[in-house]
Amino acid sequence: MKKAVVLHSGGLDSTTLLYKAVAEKYEVFALSFNYGQKHSKEIKLAKLSAKKAGVVEHKVVNLNLDLWGGSALTDDLINIPDYDEKNPEIPITYVPARNMIFLSIAASYAETLGAQDIFIGVSQVDYSGYVDCRQEFIESMEKTINTGTVCAVEKNMPMKIHAPFMFLTKEEEISIGTKLNVDYSLTWSCYKGEEKPCGVCDSCILRQQAFQNAGFKDPLLILNSNS
Amino acid sequence: MKKAVVLHSGGLDSTTLLYKAVAEKYEVFALSFNYGQKHSKEIKLAKLSAKKAGVVEHKVVNLNLDLWGGSALTDDLINIPDYDEKNPEIPITYVPARNMIFLSIAASYAETLGAQDIFIGVSQVDYSGYVDCRQEFIESMEKTINTGTVCAVEKNMPMKIHAPFMFLTKEEEISIGTKLNVDYSLTWSCYKGEEKPCGVCDSCILRQQAFQNAGFKDPLLILNSNS
| Minimal-distance CA residue of chain A relative to B132 | A148
User: In the predicted model, is pLDDT for residue A179 greater than 60?
Assistant: yes
Residue B182, SS3 per DSSP: coil
Domain A3-226 superfamily per CATH: HUPs (3.40.50.620)
Q: Does B154 touch chain A (CB under 8 A)?
A: yes
- pLDDT at residue number B83: 87
Q: Is B144–A154 a contact, with Cβ atoms under 8 angstroms apart?
A: no
The alpha carbon of residue B51 and the mean position of all alpha carbons in its chain are separated, in whole angstroms, by 16
Q: Does A145 touch chain B (CB under 8 A)?
A: yes
pLDDT digit string, tens, across residues A7-63: 999 999 999 999 999 999 999 999 999 999 998 899 999 999 999 999 999 999 999
Determine the average pLDDT of the residues in A100-123.
Answer: 98
**Predicted confidence band at A96 (pLDDT cuts at 50, 70, 90)?**
very high
| Partners of residue B109 in chain A, C-beta under 8 Å | 67-68, 96
User: In the predicted model, is pLDDT for residue A185 greater than 60?
Assistant: yes
Between A60-74, A78-92, A182-196, B60-74, the lowest mean confidence (pLDDT) is in A78-92
User: In the predicted model, is pLDDT for residue A223 greater than 80?
Assistant: no
**Predicted confidence band at A128 (pLDDT cuts at 50, 70, 90)?**
confident
Return mean pLDDT, chain A: 94
Whole-angstrom Cα distance, residue B129 to residue B5?
25
| Minimal-distance CA residue of chain B relative to A154 | B131
Backbone angles phi, psi at B160, to 5 degrees: -125, 130
Q: What is the mean pLDDT of each run of 10 residues along chain B (227 residues)?
A: 96 97 98 93 96 98 94 91 84 94 98 98 86 97 97 96 97 97 96 92 92 94 63
The domain spans of chain A are 3-226
**Predicted confidence band at A171 (pLDDT cuts at 50, 70, 90)?**
very high
Q: Is B149–A99 a contact, with Cβ atoms under 8 angstroms apart?
A: no
DSSP chain A: --EEEEE--SSHHHHHHHHHHHHTT-EEEEEEEE-S-S--HHHHHHHHHHHHHT-SEEEEEEB-GGGT--STTT-TTSPPPPP-TT--SPPTT--TTHHHHHHHHHHHHHHHHT--EEE----SSSSSS-GGGSHHHHHHHHHHHHHH-HHHHHSS---EEE-TTTT--HHHHHHHHHHTT--GGG----SS-SSS--S-SHHHHHHHHHHHHHT---HHHHHHHH-
User: In the predicted model, is pLDDT for residue A195 greater than 80?
Assistant: yes
| Minimal-distance CA residue of chain B relative to A94 | B150
Q: Is A107–B96 a contact, with Cβ atoms under 8 angstroms apart?
A: yes
A·B CB contacts under 8 A = 155
Whole-angstrom Cα distance, residue B21 to residue B5?
9
- pLDDT at residue number B225: 61
Percentage of residues in chain B with pLDDT exceeding 70?
98
Percentage of residues in chain A with pLDDT exceeding 70?
98
Q: Is B140–A137 a contact, with Cβ atoms under 8 angstroms apart?
A: no
User: In the predicted model, is pLDDT for residue A227 greater than 60?
Assistant: no
| Minimal-distance CA residue of chain A relative to B146 | A137
